[in-house]
C-alpha cells in the first residue's frame, strides 16, 4: 500500500544486541528493587549490596543470553526474529525459568551463598523465592518484545512517499549506482 507506514522486525544480530541491553537494564532495576527480600539488605554494607546487585545482574544477563542462544540453536532460523519468534521465546523462557529455579535452590538451600529475608514469599514445595521467578517471567519477555519490535528502526521516506524501515539508509545509498553510471572496474 503506497503511502502507508510499514515496519519490519530488526535483523537477528540487532535483536540479540538489543535483547542483551534491555535484559541488563531490566534485571539491574529488578535486582535493586528486590534487594530488601534478601538478608544482604539488612546485614550488608552499601558496598556489598552494590556488588551483590552488580554480580546478580551479570548472572541474570548471562542466563537470559544463554537461554536465548540455546533456543535459537534448537529452533531458530536465519529469518529469526521475522519467523519463529514465539517458539524461540517460549523455549528461552522455559530454559531460563528452569535454570532460575535450580540456581535459587542450589544457592539458598545447598550452598548457602545467599538467603531470603522473612519478606520473601517462597514456593512451598521448593522454597524458591517468588521474586526471582517473577523476575524471569517479566524481564526477559519484555526485553525480547522490545528487542524484536520495530522501535528504534528508522523510518525513511522514499521517493514515492511511502516509508521503509531501512536501518542505515545512508550507507546503503552510498553503495548504489545510478543505472547510467558504471563502476570504476567496469570502465575500459
Q: Where are the alpha helices (DSSP H) in the chain?
A: 12-34, 40-43, 46-75, 85-105, 130-147, 169-175
User: What pTM does this model have?
Assistant: 0.76
* Alpha carbon separation from 165 to 36, 117, 155 (Å, rounded): 43, 48, 5
**Quick one: DSSP state of residue 44?**
S
Q: For residue range 102-157, list pLDDT tens digits in order.
A: 999 999 999 999 999 999 999 988 889 999 999 999 999 999 999 999 754 433 33
Residue 184 has pLDDT above 70, yes or no: no
Q: Tell me which residue has cell 517460549.
A: 90
Give the model's pLDDT for residue 115: 96
Model confidence band, residue 7 (pLDDT cutoffs 50, 70, 90): low
Model confidence band, residue 26 (pLDDT cutoffs 50, 70, 90): very high
Residues 6+ apart with CB under 8 A from 103: 59, 63
Domain boundaries, the chain: 12-147
Pairwise CA distance, residues 19 & 149, whole Å: 11
Instruction: Check residues 186 and 114 and name the one with the higher pLDDT.
Output: 114
Q: Are 150 and 9 in contact (CB under 8 A)?
A: yes
Compute the average pLDDT of residues 180-185.
46
Give the model's pLDDT for residue 119: 97
Q: For residue range 49-103, list pLDDT tens digits in order.
A: 999 999 999 999 999 999 999 999 999 999 999 999 999 999 999 999 999 999 9
Amino acid at each position: 500500500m503506497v503511502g502507508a507506514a510499514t515496519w519490519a522486525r530488526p535483523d537477528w544480530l540487532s535483536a540479540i544486541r538489543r535483547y542483551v541491553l534491555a535484559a541488563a537494564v531490566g534485571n539491574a532495576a529488578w535486582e535493586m528493587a528486590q534487594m530488601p527480600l534478601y538478608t544482604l539488605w539488612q546485614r550488608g554494607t552499601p558496598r556489598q549490596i552494590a556488588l551483590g546487585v552488580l554480580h546478580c545482574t551479570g548472572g541474570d544477563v548471562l542466563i537470559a543470553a544463554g537461554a536465548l542462544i540455546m533456543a535459537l540453536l534448537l529452533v531458530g532460523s536465519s529469518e529469526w526474529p521475522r519467523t519463529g519468534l514465539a517458539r524461540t521465546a517460549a523455549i528461552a523462557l522455559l530454559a531460563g525459568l528452569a535454570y532460575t529455579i535450580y540456581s535459587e535452590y542450589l544457592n539458598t538451600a545447598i550452598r548457602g551463598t545467599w538467603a531470603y529475608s522473612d519478606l520473601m514469599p517462597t514456593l512451598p514445595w521448593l522454597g524458591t523465592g517468588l521474586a526471582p521467578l517473577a523476575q524471569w517471567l517479566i524481564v526477559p519477555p519484555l526485553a525480547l518484545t522490545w528487542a524484536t519490535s520495530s522501535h528504534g528502526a528508522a523510518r525513511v521516506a522514499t521517493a514515492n512517499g511511502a516509508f521503509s524501515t531501512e536501518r542505515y539508509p545512508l550507507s546503503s545509498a552510498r553503495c548504489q549506482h545510478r543505472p547510467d553510471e558504471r563502476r570504476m572496474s567496469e570502465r575500459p
